[in-house]
Amino acid sequence: MSEPLLKVENLYQHFKVSRNFTVKAVNGVSFEIYPGETYGLVGESGSGKTTIGRSIIRLYDPTAGEIIFNHRKISGELDRKTRRMLRKNMQMIFQDPMSSLNPRKKIGDIIGEGLDIHGLYSSKKERNNIIGEILEKVGLSPAHAERYPHQFSGGQRQRVGIARALVMKPRLIIADECISALDVSIQAQVVNLMKDIQAQTQCAYLFIAHDLSMVKYISDRIGVLHLGYLVETGSTQEIFSNPVHPYTKSLLSAVPYPNPRVEKNRRPLLYDSSNVNYASATMKQVGDTHFALL
């Protein structure tokens, strides 16, 4: 197996709200992502999924732990060379496409901002060609570069967000709930688009989502997050066919079944975390790659 593109070890992310209260959003999370792989991160709202993504890309400064990306340590203080490498090779697709796009800028300028900062073109004509090609790749027209974000539908704005991430030709893309605000038919189009682009560019994805069926479709490996702890991780087949942790079983049992007769009589498994002490728990290996926090 090749060297991991991203290695996260014992990541902690705490937010001090007041002198006496600290929100412990992420606690000792560790995982790896390999080149060309999609790692799905699932869990309920408030479990810390988005916080992990923002800590990895350094929108937040990690409280503790080590993050290795592209053979370089990107946790702690960053020198100019490392910061430039990080900004060029790691990009993020945000959950809400409208709030993450500048309403006063045209789509061409939004997508081309990274090109401008890193000087990745030699002439204005080359810049326009790069932007036009990436727009076509995500299913839009080069003429759309002259429009503003409010002139697009939700699915089209999400494609703009994907184009903005892809134009830098990154090695890792953090997709934070990038399909949750879209209609089901548009979700399928966007996910298929991401898979096609991955096949062409061999980029890796950290795919953060609630929709387990979509995570199962796109992911090679999955991590299950609960209350800031990574309670189970393994291949997609292992997680869905042989879940070990009770929370994972409860999460999978809540997935709707596409048969009304079966769904009517189906009862989801309940999981009570009030008596669980994750701080004293340990990781248990099941098979070669399947781990659960027990």
Q: Which domains does the chain possess?
A: 6-293 (3.40.50.300)
CA distances from 20 to 15, 17, 23, 32, 51 (A): 12, 8, 10, 34, 22
Q: CB-hemisphere CA count at 13 Å for 114?
A: 22
Q: Mind listing the pLDDT tens digit for each residue in 3-52?
A: 899 999 999 999 998 889 999 999 999 999 999 999 999 988 888 999 99
SS3 61: coil
Q: Mind listing the pLDDT tens digit for each residue in 38-88?
A: 999 998 888 899 999 999 999 999 999 999 998 999 988 888 999 999 999
Global pTM reads 0.89
